[in-house]
Amino acid sequence: MTLSWQQPIATMRCDRAWVEISLGSLAHNIHQLQSLLSAKTHLMAVVKADAYGHGAVTVAETVLQAGASWLGVATVPEGIELREAGISAPILILGATHTPEQIKAIAHWQLQPTVCSFKQALVFAETLKTTNQLLPVHLKLDTGMSRLGPSWQQAVEFVQLIQGVPNLKIASIYSHLATAESIDQTILRQQQQNFEQAITQIKRSNLQLFQHKQIQPALHLANSAATLTAPDLHYDMVRVGLAMYGLYPAVHLAVIDLKPVMQVKARITQVKKIPAGTGVSYGHKFVSDRAMQIAVVGIGYADGVPRNLSNQMTVLVRGQQVPQIGAITMDQLMLDVSAIADVHEGEVVTLLGEDGSQKISADDWAKQLNTISWEILCSFKHRLPRVAVP
C-alpha cells in the first residue's frame, strides 16, 4: 500500500534542482546543421558522455527523428544503453576496445567499433575467428591529433592487415581534427592533406577497397567546427557534438542559428536577513558590507556547479541577475537577493539558461573558469534529473 504522504522519487528529485532539455531546440539545431550539408553527406550525432550531459537516449531519439542518421559514443556500455532503449540506428564506438568481452558485446549488440592499432586488429581477428559474423569496423588514422590511430603514413599497411581478417569489413576510414576551431587553419589544412594523401595511397595500392562505389568505405573528418565552416571537409559524413547542443566551438564559427538545449534550474529553499559584518558560508570568504537579504538555493558542487565560481557567478531570479555570495557548498549556494522584493521559498533560480531578456550560458562559465564549454555541459551530475521540455 502507498501511503498518502509518499511522493514518487522521480517527482521529488525536481523539488530542489534539475536540468531542462529543450527537444525543440535540439531538433532545430539538427535542421540548421543539415542546411550546411550536401545530400550525400550523413550527419553523425555524437551522444557520448550521456549526450554531453543532456541524456543519451532522449537526445538520440530526438536527433534521429530530426534527420541524423548515425550516432557516436565513446564506450561499449554507452552503445548498449541505446540498443536496450530500442534504437536501431548505426552506432560508432569512437573509443578503443581491446578485450574479447568487449568485442563479443560489440558483435552481439550490432555496434560498430573503431580499430586504431595493429595489435587491436589482431585481438578482433582472434576473437571472431570461430564465428561467421561479418563485423563492420571503422579505421582511425592519426593525421596530427597524436591520439588514437596509427600514423597516416602507415595507412596502406593498416588497411592490408584489416582486409586480411575474414570477419572484418572496412565501413569507413576517418581521422580527428585538433585545431578546427582556430582562426589559423594551418594545422587543419595540414591534417586534411595528410588524410587525403593516406586515402590516395590506399587507392593506388589497393584498388579493390574503392573499386565499387556502392560498397566502398565512407570517409569522415569533420567535427562541429569543420562542419560549420569547411564544406570541403564534409566528405561522406560529419561528426557533430557541441554544435548539436546549441553552442559554438568558437565565437567566429557562429554561421548558423544555434539554440542552447540545456538549462539548469534550482529552487530557493530559505530566505533570511543578515546584518552588516556577517560572514557567509565556509571560510567566511564573503562578509556582508551592509544588511542583506540572502537566499539559500538547493544546488551545489555535488550537482556540478563549479566551486571555483564562488563569489564570481551570477544567476537569474525573476529575470534579474543577482550575485552568488560565499563559498559554493556541496549541496547549496547562497545569493544576495536584496534588490528583489518579497523573494520567497520555492522560487525558481536559473543558473544556466534564459529568464526574460537575460541569459547565462555555458560559455560564460567557461570563460570565467578558463576552461571550455564542453566541460561545463558534461559536469552536471545525475543527481539532477533531466526534464524534457518542448
Q: Among all residues, which ones are annotated catalytic?
A: 48, 282
Is 244 flagged in the annotation as binding?
no
Distance CA 238, CA 38 (A): 11
**Among the listed residues 313, 310, 322, the one whose alpha carbon sits nearest the alpha carbon of residue 283:** 310
- Total length of the chain: 390
Is 147 flagged in the annotation as binding?
yes
Distance CA 240, CA 94 (A): 13
Please report the DSSP string for 147-195 in residue order. Answer: SSS-BGGGHHHHHHHHHT-TTEEEEEEE---SSTTSS--HHHHHHHHHH
Cell of 136: 563492420
DSSP assignment letter at 142: B
Distance CA 201, CA 85 (A): 41
Q: Report yes or no: 65 and 93 within 8 Å, Cβ to Cβ.
A: no
Cα-based distances in Å from 255 to 32, 41, 244: 10, 19, 14
SS3 state at 388: strand
Q: Which residue has the cell 562541429?
A: 224
User: Where do runs of H (alpha helix) occur along the chain?
Assistant: 9-12, 23-34, 48-53, 56-66, 76-84, 100-108, 118-128, 155-163, 186-205, 224-229, 362-369, 373-378
Cell of 30: 539538427
Please give the annotated binding residues, written as ranges.
147, 330
Residues annotated within a binding site for substrate? 147, 330
